[in-house]
Amino acid sequence: MPVQKTLSRGIELFGVGVHSGKPVHLAILPAEEGGLVFRRTDLDGLETPLGGGRLEARNSMALVGKKFRVGTIEHLLAALFAFGVRNAVIALDADEVPILDGSALPFVRAIEKAGTRALTAPAAGLRIVKPFAVEEGGASIVVEPPRTGDALDLSYSIEYAHPAIGMQALSVKLDPGAFARDLAPARTFGFLRDVEALRGQGLALGASYENTVVLDADRVVSGPLRFPDEFVRHKLLDLTGDLALLGRPLAGRFTAHKAGHRLHLEAVRFLLANPDYGTTF
């Protein structure tokens, strides 16, 4: 059984919240135990462990503690999950993880620079042993046992009536190299037609051409794409971060079609509520 990991040294990053528009100082600190813990330094150091709060899926994933909230956690969690970092204190002075360039690449580069180190506690993983599916309005996630060994295979398909997107599908076998190369650089995306409505709800206040792939009715207007299929790659990035909410390594096959954070969360909640669908490895 593999052992748990933490960072070899701390990480500091600065940015803005994509929804709040507020500046954020983020520090990710090594920890010997306790899993991933979010700490609000602007609220007298109040803490909530990843598994100890309420999860909310709206336009991003949020962890809600007794007296505070931390939003847009999925890109950071995806990077920590892919590199096997199970113990760390995530300290920030605002209510949202900074969006940085809209991808997980800055987190990956920071983790690679800091390095990781092994701890003594085993990293007990969850292997899917029985298939299930969650569905809503034409969207679905099918979860199945792994084909071989302890692999985590992720597949996603999307379909948008937009000339720059259309139908896109991609499958990856998740490991640190594949995540860093194929998923981490993919940025969040949005449509100009939705901006006014989102900001009327207090969302996307920090979104810009620098941290979002922006589309008008016909094309991408925020500069060149990093991949021709960057849109589905970002969906796979989000799925990785949302599966990290389980707090342990995973082995299985997750096939998502036209899904999003809310359906990702339903799959996570199903596994938490039905432990007989998985076994420890």
In this predicted model, what pLDDT tens digit does every residue of 52-77 receive, in sequence order?
A: 999 999 899 999 988 999 999 999 99
Q: Where are the alpha helices (DSSP H) in the chain?
A: 74-82, 105-114, 176-178, 195-200, 230-243, 261-273
How sure is the predictor about 198, in pLDDT bands with cuts at 50, 70 and 90?
A: very high
Q: Could you give the residue numbers annotated as active site? A: 261
How sure is the predictor about 1, in pLDDT bands with cuts at 50, 70 and 90?
A: confident
In this predicted model, what pLDDT tens digit does every residue of 19-30 receive, in sequence order?
A: 999 999 999 999
- Give the pairing of strands 116-122 and 3-7: antiparallel
C-alpha span between 95 and 257 (Å, rounded): 30
What are φ and ψ of residue 153, in 5° steps?
A: -105, 125
Say if CB 70 and CB 60 are below 8 A apart: no
Buried b / exposed e over 106-119, threshold 16 CB at 10 Å, is: bbbebbeebebeeb
What is the pLDDT averaged over residues 239-253? 97
Buried b / exposed e over 65-76, threshold 16 CB at 10 Å, is: beebbbbbbbbb
Domains of the chain: 3-122 (3.30.230.20), 126-280 (3.30.1700.10)
